[in-house]
A and B are shown apart, each in its own frame.
Chain A
Amino acid sequence: MDTAFKGEHLVPGHLGQFFIILAFGAALLSAISYYFAATSTDKLDKSWLRLGRLGYWINTASVIGIGVCLFYIIYNHLFEYHYAYAHSSRALPVYYIISSYWEGQEGSFWLWTFWQAVLGNVLIWKAKSWEKPVMTVVSLSQVLLSSMLIGVELFGTRVGSSPFILLRDVMQGAPIFSRPDYMAYIKDGNGLNPLLQNYWMVIHPPTLFLGFASMVVPFAYAIAGLWQKKYKDWVNPAISYALFAVMVLGTGIIMGSFWAYESLNFGGFWAWDPVENASLIPWLTLIGAVHVMIVYKNTGHAYFTALFLTLISFVLVLYASFLTRSGILGETSVHSFTDAGMFWHLVADVVLFLLLAIVLIVIRWKELPISQKEEETYSREFWMFVGSVFLALSCLQLVFVTSIPVWNAMFGTKIAPPNDKVTLYNVFQGAFAVVIALFMGFTQFMKYKKTDTTRFFITSGIYLVTSLVISAIIIYITGIYKLHVVYMLLMFTATYSVMSNAKVLSDAIKGKFKLAGSAVAHIGFGLLLIGALISAGTSKVVSENTTGEQYSAEFAKANDPRENIIMYKNQPVQMGGYEVTYIGDSISLPNHYFKVDYKKRDKSGKITEEFVLKPNSQANRKMGLVSSPDTKHYLFHDLYTHVSMAPIKYDDELREESMGHEGEANDDKNYDAPVAHAVQVGDTIRFREGFMVLKALNKNAHVQDIKLSGNDVAIGADLEIVSHGKTYMAEPVYMIKGSNGYDFARKVDDVGLKLRLSQILPKEGKIEITVYQQPESKKPYIVMRAISFPYINFFWSGTIIMVIGFLMSIFRRNKELKTV
């Protein structure tokens, strides 16, 4: 096919593709050179090292080049490129252009590659004697990541997926692409999924991928330690990087959950979705790894566990990327990527690094410094070790359940994930958390090597009893006692861990300040557990529906509670202690905001509190109705309001209307059959939802743009309308111009009324008012769901405190570090 296509911009794509190949080649060069540099026996020969660095720098530059090309394409709306077409559109503001950049597989792979390039440069600068072996591993990982972006045919199969592929190549065979001027028909891209149009989408993926990317560093150190037989030395530098990875990945995960809470509609901050689990698993194992590394550093015990957890964490990161990107979760997850034809490529990535770790361990097994001495039972290291193993065990459960589709694919079985997986995960992970929080508490009263037993039992006992009392009070107030017993236990041990770490923190402020970091991180984690427990455990749907036509008694019985309520405009509804009214809309394209007024009254009926929430929706032809909730934040609870259904116009219709194409056609069909009333001043007309009074006749009424002359008359009927406690005014007009009569109807949208002064009846001294009322089904309404999340601020503050704690620990560990 040698059609010359008009209007295509092929240069940025060719350039980008060139950078991809260069990045791949340079990473390969770097990996090989670093390998020879590390194995070379000639200490004075620096040529391999120089080549390795050069390769890595070229790789970094090319990765940046790829990014610039892709950004150029998206920013300039070059829709001949599939990536720009699929993820962006002209209407997107710049910050969402940035987020559309990493909406797709290729963009997020690029992000990962970019961060890994940055970290590699940090290592070249900082790692000193470790540079050669560590960079061999990092470059190898860079080779694999770059290969995911190549997108070239090799022996009949496509390797990787390039962001620079052209639209006409993706959709080969579509008739439009046989036209040389096809570009003239592709006016706009698909745009960004409205759910992703949120500022968290701008910063959450970069943070998450920095976390993923940084997990390669401790892995590389562990491999380098095995390879270079520096079995003990790798632990020290690895701790700092592992803490960094844990901090950043943790922040990324929390950002994701905050985004889910704030903007997505699954009614909470954590849903145990496979994609969420996939990011949580390596985070937990690496936290375990950090603890065991510290144990090893202090006592020489638990070497193998430290090694194992460090290695497996990175393999689990790769496994997570396999789960989310291979399409294997198709039937179990809402938001996994679809298969981009990289299934075996991703498998190879996991297997390669897993084998690397296993082979090295097997080869070096006999030489590993595994301590044969028993640890003291009353030593901090023993319980830190046990706690980390429990952390790993909790991951085992997560991995096992999340991987059900993988088991099915491997063994040809047809197991479905548990029906009520949230409860299953909550109870299981809750039980593990009970044990871990308990350890987090009492290990604080222990010392490394040996603890004074009596003193330990006294102090830890005092704190245990105090926490028991405090947690009992919390359990009673928040109503946790109504739930599973595991939650009560967790509340108890989490309180315990917060309190005992608070003691450590207060001691640290007085003197041993280097312990403050871990205490702060532990307090944060404890608060996070408490917050998650209360808010998720006792969250309550406040929009329980008690009205609504019942389809059958059987149906109603089996399907309680019903979580959505319908609200007609300006008709107040009682909902969980609030009087709630849907009072109107405001449109700021493409968002349609629904104003929902909340009132709280005391016994005498006086309003004690009033606020308006504005949940919004986008009605998008491609995505349907996509809603984002709005939340009222109190100090001790949140009230979350989400519109699940509303009869609103599509955004393109609204856009046209706002440009003045509104069709003022006869809209009588939108109303019930009209009713005419002959009335005189002072009379009342009743209608379904209220009444109106004819206050006066206005002889000087005027209609915009129509000048009256001579004998022309215009009469307006001043109507005062009262509906649902609100008063509105409307003035329909009757006009005699020349010898013809005209009437000008007036609408009161909030009440769903159209009013005409349809006749003047001089004989009876009356006028005729015709009332059109909207049927129930045509009236504006919203279907809404409201949930109250108690004490969720514990969760958020806990996460922030935890991150601060990690940061403090990193500074401390870096101070101890003396790299040669």
Chain B
Amino acid sequence: MKKSSIFGLVVIAIAIAVIISTYSSSSTYGSFNDAKKSEATLQVVGHLNKQKELYYDATKDANYFSFYMKDNKGQECKVIFTGTKPQDFERSEQVVLTGKMVGSEFHASKILMKCPSKYTQDKIEVTEVNAKQASI
């Protein structure tokens, strides 16, 4: 066999290995319900319940932050995060948690939040503008 053909095969083999191993290490999006059933770490997409308390008190523990989140199926769960409260968390429109269920609480190791208004703050500005208008 020609050297270039052997090399070609090696390349194809590596490419396939890369794709398979990447695929196998990828996780799945799930709901809190899925998290209850499995032991594994998974990612839950949902929305912060702004009615319930966001708890962070640095003077008690600088690495404890808890809040309530509703997943996309509407189920609510208490979430505990080891760390400080992310900046601007209250304003998040969508939250992606990585973590697993411990008892009835979801322990998140990572929080990714989206504040679309961070770049185009139209919605929020309109309300502010309206408030000013009312005071005149």
Contact = CB atoms under 8 A, between A and B. Distances in A.
Interface of A: 85-86, 103-104, 170-171, 174-176, 185-186, 190, 193, 330-332, 334, 337-338, 374-375, 377, 386, 389, 393, 396-397, 400-401, 404, 414-419, 424, 428, 545, 548-551, 554-555, 558-559, 562-566, 622-627, 644-645, 647, 776-777, 781, 783
Determine the main DSSP class of B at the interface with A: mixed
B28 A415 contact: yes
B96 to A, nearest CB: 6
A525 to B, nearest CB: 22
Contact of B80 (A185, A193, A555): A555
Interface residues of B, number: 62
A182 to B, nearest CB: 8
A56 to B, nearest CB: 33
Given A190-B125, A374-B4, A559 B133 contact: no
Given A193-B119, A374-B4, 13 more contacts: A176-B126, A186-B129, A332-B96, A375-B3, A386-B7, A401-B22, A401-B26, A417-B43, A419-B98, A548-B62, A562-B63, A781-B58, A783-B62
B63 A548 contact: yes
A564 B118 contact: no
Given A375-B3, A401-B22, A624-B87, A338 B61 contact: no
Contacts of A555: 64, 80, 102, 107
A645 B132 CA distance: 30
A393 B11 contact: yes
A566 B15 contact: no
Interface of B: 2-4, 7, 11, 14-15, 18-19, 21-23, 25-29, 41-43, 45, 56-64, 80, 82-85, 87-91, 94, 96, 98, 102-103, 107, 110, 112, 114, 116, 118-122, 124-126, 129-130, 132-133
Contacts of B25: 418, 424
22 contacts: A86-B119, A174-B129, A186-B129, A193-B118, A374-B2, A374-B3, A393-B11, A400-B19, A416-B29, A416-B42, A419-B41, A419-B43, A419-B110, A428-B18, A428-B22, A548-B61, A549-B61, A554-B102, A555-B102, A622-B121, A624-B91, A645-B84
B19 A566 contact: no
Contacts of B45: 331
Nearest to A621: B128
B61 A551 contact: yes
Contacts of A389: 7, 11
A582 to B, nearest CB: 12
B102 A417 contact: no
A174 B133 CA distance: 12
A185 B135 CA distance: 12
B32 to A, nearest CB: 15
B102 to A, nearest CB: 6
Contacts of A176: 126, 129-130, 133
A625 B87 contact: yes
